[in-house]
Chain A
Amino acid sequence: MSERPVSLPGEPKVDLEQARAHGLAPDEYRKIEQIIGRTPTYTELGVFSVMWSEHCSYKSSRRHLRKLPSKSELVVQGPGENAGAIDVGDGWAAVFKIESHNHPSFVEPYQGAATGVGGILRDIFTMGARPVASMNSLKFGSFEHPRTRYLLGGVVGGIGGYGNCVGVPTVAGEVMFDAAYNANILVNAFCLGLVRKGEMMSAKARGPGNPVLYVGSATGRDGIHGASMASAEFDKQSEAKRPAVQVGDPFTEKLLIEACLEAGKTGAIVAIQDMGAAGLTSSSSEMASHGGLGIEIDLDKVPLREARLTPYEILLSESQERMLIVAERGREAELKTVFDKWDLHAVVIGHVTEDKRWRMRWRGQIVADIPIGALADDAPLYDRPAAEPEAQPQTKISITEKPGTAKALRALLDSPNIASKKWVYRQYDSIVQSNTVLGPGSDAAVLRIKNSRRAIALKVDSNPRACALDPYLGAVGTVCEAARNVACAGARPVGITNCLNYGNPERPEVMWQFVRGVEGLRDASIAFGAPVVSGNVSFYNETEGHPIPPTPTIAVLGVMIDVSKHVTQFFKNAGDAIAIVRTATPSLAASEYAAIFGIDGGRLGAIDLAREAALIEGLVEGAEQGLIRSAHDVAEGGLAVALAEACFNPRAILGAEVELGRAGNAAAVDFFGEGASTVVLSIAERDAARVESLFAGRGLEFAVIGRVIADPRLKISGTLDEGIAELQRIYEDAIPRRLRGSD
């Protein structure tokens, strides 16, 4: 049957102008005409414009992402499905991924963040895994920027509003405030689910003739051209784009989770995929093309929220909480029974074909008929020019203000980037599902696996300041940091997912940042034996020509064999020895100290990945042997801040007395320097020698610098003597007091 597809009366004429209006470059449009052998219909043009957008096609990044290592003996699923999966032992696979929802969150923060959470959840349960943990990484403009409070409230409200309602605990995250994000905030949402190995679902269609079912919410006009919004910079018209933001319904998502997992158990599901970016279009074309087959859909059968949607709108709609299922022929009714129980639509809308075409019918006519590979596999693949910029950031750090040590410590604890984020995470349910051993407010989150002694640990990290100085070393350092945090909790890093946030890739310097970032991620991933099993790229994070600093956001999954051996960051007993172990010497480059008291220039020190891996081994072994009483990663603010934080034990505030520097001659870099992969440990006196051999024996710098004391004061080198209660008050009130001030 070769009916020729048609545009519908009243639809605009399809030509180069119309293609340009749809975000397609002239050569892309010509390629489309060449592939299908004629002028596309209006519906086909719309469909190509979203599928070939940066957000859906990864046309600027695909070539480089192939460099990332994605194999290990623990990998159950690498890139190619909706999320990656790692064997975590005892028959369980962890399915996980992180994704961005930056542009919608800037336009409508609550719904943008909420639908970001919804989208990543679907990527997880579409693989048959029950979502058990969420995390997020947020970047806002400076706290003083007029829009920040509104965006902060909206985004946190949206994450909580959606996440709390679906029953998945939000167990960790990071929040940063920096003027670099004044006009481009970042919202990266992570989710992890557990599935029995062997019960994982796939999104590859099989069996010509098998019915295709649409399940979940009815389709409306939400988010039309959401994918192309994510592929364009912001300008003054951005406010007017508000209707393109999707609206989420977490209650329906919860029903969808239960229904899909229950339906999966019937064995009647051949393939399942969520309708995310580019909704019905991407899900149907990807499922068919990955299975090497075709698909035909009758758009009249799609449940609609509004009466008069055109095929173009139906296909491009990003209405939330919808899934597409290929069922075993003859077993549709079985599936429908499950979805009826949960009061969700479940309608047969088409079938799988043999002919490798993507064919859409509406009111008896064909409105789109495209070769199946054209939408996804044949999408443009660019090798964009990458060039290191000539104008380098200042190579000297200059500290314009030279505060005393005590004043500096207080200022750092009061800085929103360091201070307690309790205001944020109090709004998240972090305990539902009864698996949270260590929740927010800790280095890494730890979740036990029921009926097993194992546990998983999670951390998400990013370091844009370091990446701005050196996009390669900054990315390497970010992976090291996330892995180190997981090791501090006592877990061995086994897998990575990443969200790579950059500016406009059509600029050679941004492309250079991206390529160097991917190479950094690659090298660190290899060094730790933790493959990158999933990820996401978000380009075009810039406004009026100003890109964000390179921001690769890295989430690491760790596995612990015995959950009872987990380690927290807090000092526990007066008399314990305090030691530091590190791989390099600290620097003020890219530090919070430099950002507050001067100009953030400088050079990052080299990173020895062999030593980084040795540090991680030492931490994991130390925890497994029960030798480490507490371990805290030194991050923003440096060692002095880490020591203070380690004293903020919620069970009983303790103090610390330590020596820094040689002969008590410590400089600002000793107290507040960063970037040296340093961990503060507390150890029973009797174990000090054994712990030393764990690290010094691996070529790492290890030194006992003092003791935990009962007197709740932080005493450093005779230079600093501060009461812990006061320091904790500053730390806990830093963000609340700034928010109060706005009333």
Chain B
Amino acid sequence: MKWGVVRFPGSLDDGDALYAIAEVMGQDARILWHKDESLGGVECILLPGGFSYGDYLRTGAIARFSPIMKSVAKFAADGGLVIGICNGFQILCEAHLIPGALTRNRSLSFICERMWIRVENASTPFTRATKRGDLLRLPIKHGEGLYVAPEDELRQMEERGQVILRYVDADGRESDAANPNGSMRAIAGVANQRFNVFGLMPHPEHAVEPMLGGVDGLKIFQSIAGSAR
């Protein structure tokens, strides 16, 4: 699979995503500069974590207007695979490629912590290598990860299976204590109706080497790699 990792001014985990995909998994991956409109024929686009444009105005609000995002939107409309991690998730919401919005953590603090994440839907291109109910150990590091959407929309998303990942405790159970940022329904990751665009707050690219704390992130990348059209 050919991957493109978009780099905005202020992107931080672009290097980490590139390292995970190219070095650890040995796949073909390149950086796509935000000012370019060409996607270079890639098959999956990754919008990485970070503080694009310093999170000015609202997180992701300015990045969504970068020249490359026009091409990303068209790519997604044509069914291409797009994954947005953390700031990437925020950008996808601002660009309306995914419903809802990410707001400030309930605690008002930035949190960097390893979480237990439960897979709610294993039938998507991003989770095919997992099983429903699987627990993934993935780190989060964000100050604005509280996912919100109108109640009606949330209900429909749940019914359609658009809620892909949820925060849970080590036993796989939802609880207030297990929800690090106050996200509605403990939502950690969602997909669009067509299931080709996926946004998640946890960082799979930071869980691909045993020495650095775990390899559960590989399952998400392997799912995508196995979904090449």
Contact = CB atoms under 8 A, between A and B. Distances in A.
Interface string B7-49: 0011011011001100100000000000000000000000000
Contacts of A501: none
A342 B16 contact: no
A251 B206 contact: no
Interface string B92-117: 00000000000000000111110000
Interface in A109-168: 160-161, 164-167
Contacts of A563: 211
Contact of A426 (B54, B55, B109, B209): B109
A728 B86 CA distance: 32
A164 B141 contact: yes
B139 interface: yes
Contact of A167 (B50, B109, B143): B50
Contact of A430 (B9, B112, B209): B112
Given A167-B50, A249-B54, A251-B51, A432 B9 contact: no
B56 interface: yes
B13 A164 contact: no
B177 interface: no
A263 to B, nearest CB: 16
Contacts of A164: 51, 110, 141, 143
Interface string A689-726: 00000000000000000000000000000000000000
Interface stretch (A218-226, A234-242, A433-441, A614-622): A433-441
A448 interface: yes
Interface string A648-672: 0000000000000000000000000
Interface string B177-213: 0000000000000000000000000010110010111
Contact of B211 (A249, A343, A437): A437
B111 A255 contact: no
A432 B13 contact: yes
A250 B54 contact: yes
Contact of B10 (A251, A427, A428, A437): A251
Contact of B12 (A167, A427, A437): A167
A449 B53 CA distance: 29
A249 B54 CA distance: 8
Contacts of B51: 164-165, 250-251, 254
A202 interface: no
A425 B139 CA distance: 14
Nearest to A156: B109
B104 to A, nearest CB: 13
Contacts of A167: 12-13, 50
A429 interface: yes
A564 interface: yes
Interface string A244-262: 0000011110110000000
Nearest to A437: B211
Contact of A564 (B109, B203, B211): B211
A427 B13 contact: no
A397 interface: no
A427 B113 CA distance: 9
A679 B211 CA distance: 24
A76 interface: no
Contact of A429 (B19, B109, B112, B209): B112
A431 B53 contact: no
Contacts of A448: 211-212
A320 to B, nearest CB: 13
Contacts of A166: 12
Contacts of B50: 167
A57 to B, nearest CB: 35
Interface string A446-467: 0010100000000000000000
Nearest to B14: A167
B110 A431 contact: no
A608 B54 CA distance: 51
Give the interface size bracket for B toward A.
20 to 34
A255 B52 CA distance: 10
Nearest to A428: B112
Nearest to B180: A426
Contacts of B141: 164, 429, 431-432
Nearest to A342: B9
Contact of A427 (B23, B110, B209): B110
Contacts of A427: 109-112
B212 A436 contact: yes
Contacts of A160: 110
Give the interface size bracket for A toward B.
20 to 34
A433 B16 CA distance: 6
Given A426-B109, A426-B112, A254 B211 contact: no
B151 to A, nearest CB: 30
B19 A426 contact: no
Given A251-B51, A426-B111, A434 B9 contact: no
Given A434-B16, A434-B212, A436-B212, A255 B113 contact: no
Nearest to B108: A157
Interface string A483-506: 000000000000000000000000
Contacts of B16: 432-434
B139 A426 contact: no
A162 to B, nearest CB: 11
Interface string B209-224: 1011100000000000
Nearest to B51: A165
Contacts of A450: 19, 23
A567 to B, nearest CB: 13
A436 B213 CA distance: 9
A343 B54 contact: no
B161 to A, nearest CB: 31
Interface string A16-45: 000000000000000000000000000000
Contacts of B205: 434
Nearest to A455: B211
A727 B59 CA distance: 40
A431 B214 CA distance: 13
A255 B139 CA distance: 25
A83 to B, nearest CB: 22
A254 B15 CA distance: 14
B206 A165 contact: no
A251 B109 contact: no
A251 B56 contact: yes
A255 B10 contact: yes
A164 B112 CA distance: 10
B79 to A, nearest CB: 31
Contacts of A426: 109, 111-113
Contacts of A343: 9
A342 B34 CA distance: 11
Nearest to B139: A431
Nearest to A170: B112
B212 A431 contact: yes
Contacts of B209: 434
Interface string B121-145: 0000000000000000001010100
A431 B55 CA distance: 20
Interface string A165-202: 11100000000000000000000000000000000000
Contacts of A564: 211
A526 to B, nearest CB: 35
Contact of B20 (A249, A251, A434, A437): A434
A247 to B, nearest CB: 13
Given A160-B110, A165-B10, 18 more contacts: A164-B141, A165-B51, A167-B13, A167-B50, A249-B54, A251-B10, A254-B12, A342-B9, A426-B111, A427-B109, A428-B112, A429-B112, A431-B206, A432-B13, A433-B16, A434-B212, A450-B19, A564-B211
Interface of A: 160-161, 164-167, 249-252, 254-255, 342-343, 425-437, 448, 450, 563-564
Q: Sorted from nearest, which 10 A-B pairs have the closest CB atoms?
A: A251-B54, A167-B12, A165-B51, A434-B16, A429-B141, A427-B110, A429-B112, A160-B110, A431-B206, A251-B10
9 contacts: A161-B110, A167-B50, A254-B10, A255-B9, A343-B9, A427-B109, A429-B110, A432-B13, A450-B19
